[in-house]
């Protein structure tokens, strides 16, 4: 026994990993516009499916997530073997990194983008390569191509991007995909796909079909309103999908989540009406901001982005004081989820008052 008590040795690389900052919860008297959630309560059919599944949680879930996999395969016209599910798309993203990259390898993404990318990269022991967005808040695809090295294993392309909402159109994205070496996996993260209205933005599932190194990430957390149940998926060619299944721990997706997701797909018409209402609110909020004199980029997601620089913290505080909790990125800007009309109106009035002070 050693004389000096020492704690267990942890991997030194963990010290450099930032913690994931979840959107701040809102108190009872505030609206939460900080996590890009769907503000609507579950649809009755979806809730019933979840409640029914809750009656058997003494059992493990179907490890193969069979019914949901088959529904998704049918819906997207892909082989069931190409569908890989996980506990939220963030977990599937992590599995993609674990399947492709380790120490000495690089994982690339635009920055700022989804904040989990650098975290899951470092958990795998790989090196994050963050390529700054352009001044117009777009992916700098040329700079990303130039940053590819023999060590690059995976590239995340978040389309539309979180937290800016900007989407990449077909010619630019296709040119990029065609220039990436075929042994580098490109993950098109389409967490916000359902909120897209720009018809020039391609569907990642069309892009993946004849490109073995492209896969698509989707989630039930946003448009489908199942954030709390944790279910997301990748659509990938068989070697990648198979590797994903290998690195995923068994029984991740609960039966409750599986059944609710299947019910959501079946209730899609009603869900998409809600999505359309949110899109209309996004357009109303964006137009309101422009009218107030803000420069806003075209968001194709369920949030808007205000680049506030040093005023970011002040804005977030003013919003919280008025009853809406937004997501600040210190020194950069705030991301504000499109929520209930009342919440959006409060945000607009905060923005107006703030504008008047600038
Ligand atoms: N990708 C992007 C771009 C996101 O913004 C998020 C959620 N913030 C996720 C993936 C993960 O979502 P989930 O794990 O709930 O599917």
| 22 — pLDDT class (breaks 50, 70, 90) | confident
Ligand 1: which of 88, 120, 226 to mutate, judged by most atoms within 8 Å of the beta carbon? 88
| Mean pLDDT within 329-358 | 95
| 1 — pLDDT class (breaks 50, 70, 90) | low
Q: What is the DSSP string of 120-153?
A: HHHHTTPEEEEEEPPTTS---HHHHHHT--TTEE
Kindly report whether the global pTM for this prediction surpasses the value 0.95: yes
Q: Computed from CA positions of residues 149, 151, 154, 160, in that sequence, does the dihedral angle turn out positive or negative?
A: negative
In short, whether 233's Cβ falls inside 6 Å of ligand 1 is no
Average pLDDT, the chain: 96
| 3: pLDDT strictly greater than 70 | no
Give the tokens for residue 234: 């990748």
Burial class (CB in 10 A: 0-12, 13-18, 19+), 217: buried
Confidence at residue 2, expressed as pLDDT on a 0 to 100 scale: 53
User: pLDDT digits over 221-263, tens only?
Assistant: 999 999 999 999 999 999 999 999 999 999 999 999 999 999 9
| Mean pLDDT within 17-44 | 88
| 186: pLDDT strictly greater than 70 | yes
Cα–Cα distance, 189 to 144 (Å, whole number): 16
| 195: pLDDT strictly greater than 60 | yes
Q: How many residues does the chain have?
A: 358
Give the tokens for residue 106: 């690089």
The rounded Å distance from CA 139 to ligand 1 centre is 18
pLDDT above 70 as % of the chain? 99
The rounded Å distance from CA 90 to ligand 1 centre is 6
| 19 — pLDDT class (breaks 50, 70, 90) | confident
| 35 — pLDDT class (breaks 50, 70, 90) | very high
| Mean pLDDT within 292-303 | 97
Give the tokens for residue 63: 């490890």
Higher pLDDT, 21 or 50: 50
What is the number of the ligand 1 atom nearest to the C-alpha of 90? 14
What is the number of the ligand 1 atom nearest to the C-alpha of 222? 15
In short, whether 163's Cβ falls inside 6 Å of ligand 1 is no
In short, whether 254's Cβ falls inside 6 Å of ligand 1 is no
Could you give the 3-state DSSP secondary structure of residue 336?
A: strand
Cα–Cα distance, 164 to 172 (Å, whole number): 18
Give the tokens for residue 64: 């193969």
């Amino acid at each position: 026994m050693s004389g000096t008590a020492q704690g267990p040795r942890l991997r030194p690389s963990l010290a450099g990993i930032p913690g994931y900052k979840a959107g701040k919860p809102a108190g009872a008297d505030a609206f939460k516009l900080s996590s890009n959630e769907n503000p609507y309560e579950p649809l009755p059919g979806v809730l019933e499916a979840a409640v029914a599944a809750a009656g058997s949680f003494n059992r493990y879930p179907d490890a193969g997530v069979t019914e949901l996999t088959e529904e998704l395969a049918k819906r997207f016209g892909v082989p069931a073997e190409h569908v890989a599910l996980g506990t939220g798309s963030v977990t599937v993203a992590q599995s993609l990194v674990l399947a492709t990259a380790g120490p000495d390898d690089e994982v690339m993404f635009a920055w700022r983008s989804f904040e989990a990318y650098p975290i899951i990269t470092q958990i795998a022991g790989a090196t994050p390569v963050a390529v700054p967005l352009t001044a117009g808040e777009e992916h700098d695809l040329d700079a990303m191509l130039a940053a590819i090295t023999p060590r690059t294993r995976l590239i995340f392309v978040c389309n539309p991007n979180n937290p800016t909402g900007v989407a990449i159109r077909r010619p630019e994205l296709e040119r990029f995909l065609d220039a990436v070496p075929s042994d580098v996996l490109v993950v098109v993260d389409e967490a916000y796909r359902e909120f897209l209205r720009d018809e020039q933005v391609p569907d990642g599932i069309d892009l993946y079909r004849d490109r073995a190194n492209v896969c698509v990430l989707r989630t039930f957390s946003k448009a489908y309103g199942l954030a709390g149940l944790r279910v997301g998926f990748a659509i990938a060619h068989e070697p990648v999908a198979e590797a994903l299944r290998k690195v995923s721990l068994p029984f991740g997706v609960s039966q409750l989540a599986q059944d609710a997701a299947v019910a959501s797909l079946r209730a899609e018409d009603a869900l998409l009406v809600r999505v359309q209402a949110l899109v209309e609110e996004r357009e109303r909020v964006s137009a309101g901001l422009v009218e107030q004199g803000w420069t806003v980029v075209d968001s194709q997601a369920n949030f808007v982005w205000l680049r506030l620089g040093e005023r970011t913290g002040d804005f977030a505080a003013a919003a919280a004081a008025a009853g809406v909790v937004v997501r600040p990125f210190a020194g950069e800007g705030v991301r504000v989820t499109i929520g209930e009309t009342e919440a959006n109106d409060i945000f607009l009035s905060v923005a107006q008052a703030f504008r008047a002070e600038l």
